[in-house]
A = this chain, B = another copy of it.
Amino acid sequence: MSDRARHIPEATVARLPVYLRSLAELVDDKIPTVSSERLAEMAGVNAAKVRKDLSYLGSYGTRGVGYDVEYLLFQMSRELGLTHDWPVAIVGAGNLGSALANYGGFTQRGFPVAALFDSDRAKVGQEIHGVEVHHTDDIAPLAKKLGVGIGVIATPASAAQDAADKLVAAGVGSILNFAPTVISVPEGVSLRKVDLALELQILSFYQEHRDADG
């Protein structure tokens, strides 16, 4: 069980939070057990996939019955590292950075915004949603001091790589990049990206080819 936890496929990891959300809904509705089929429906995937995904966490189901919702929720939270908070640093206090800092969903889900950074000295010292803006030169000492493990890049594309380098230098192990550019990080650092324009362009492709393809 704990042996195979080391080899959870990426695709499975990306689905775990979706299952987690579904389980949270079931807890709210006071539903004690759930079958893979029901969970699959809620998560928008195939039932076999649910069972295989969950099997990577261990054998937490009961044949003929299903999964104990609360127990599975706990085990999954533990596996995802959500039993404790992850202080987050946001680099870039422009429109997007401010919006993210103001967005309560982060703190609520265990990702409190511990610090904001910007390279514009005029912004340094300001408070956004109760978080003070610091200069990007201070990323390393401050992020370390605050125990930041996850960094969010909300800078313009031109400043993104520099922000990433500084976050990595500060010991940050995971980066979520909102800047519309490719950034590179050393091996061992996790990197994910969110690019709104890119998503729309992908949809544009399918929209453009809709008629032609039937």
A contact residues vs B (CB 8 Å cutoff):
5-6, 13-14, 16-18, 20-22, 42-44, 79-82, 86, 88, 95-96, 99-100, 102-103, 105-106, 109-111, 149-150, 173-176, 180-182, 184, 188, 190, 192, 194-210, 212-213
Contact = CB atoms under 8 A, between A and B. Distances in A.
Chain A interface, >50% SS class: helix
B150 A204 contact: yes
A112 to B, nearest CB: 11
A176 B203 contact: yes
A197 to B, nearest CB: 5
B197 A192 contact: no
11 contacts: A5-B209, A6-B209, A79-B205, A81-B204, A86-B200, A96-B99, A99-B99, A100-B196, A111-B204, A173-B210, A194-B196
Contacts of A202: 13-14, 16-17, 192
Nearest to A198: B17
A7 to B, nearest CB: 9
